[in-house]
Amino acid sequence: MENPHAERQAVLLERIVKNADNCTELVLELNHCIEEIVRANACIKTAADLETKYRKNVQYNLEATLATDSEPHQASERG
């Protein structure tokens, strides 16, 4: 006589394995899609990095220019 408990356990185990396989496939597909997005955004990241450096340089030069412009005014106010 077969053990009904063992049969039920086998059926449940088979369902678990099938669902785990499906989950693994979906995670692999998701990883592939994310890799494509990262590759597509590489140019945008480069442009953003360049813009950030440019903005910092402009800010530095603007502050240096303002500091240089304010120095003669202070000297003329003293004299």
For residue range 8-67, list pLDDT tens digits in order.
999 999 999 999 999 999 999 999 999 999 999 999 999 999 999 999 999 999 999 988
Give me the pLDDT at residue 11, please: 95
Gap between the Cα atoms of 70 and 62, Å rounded:
12
For residue range 67-78, list pLDDT tens digits in order.
888 776 555 555
Q: Please state at what angle helix 42-78 crosses helix 4-40, rounded to 10 degrees.
A: 50
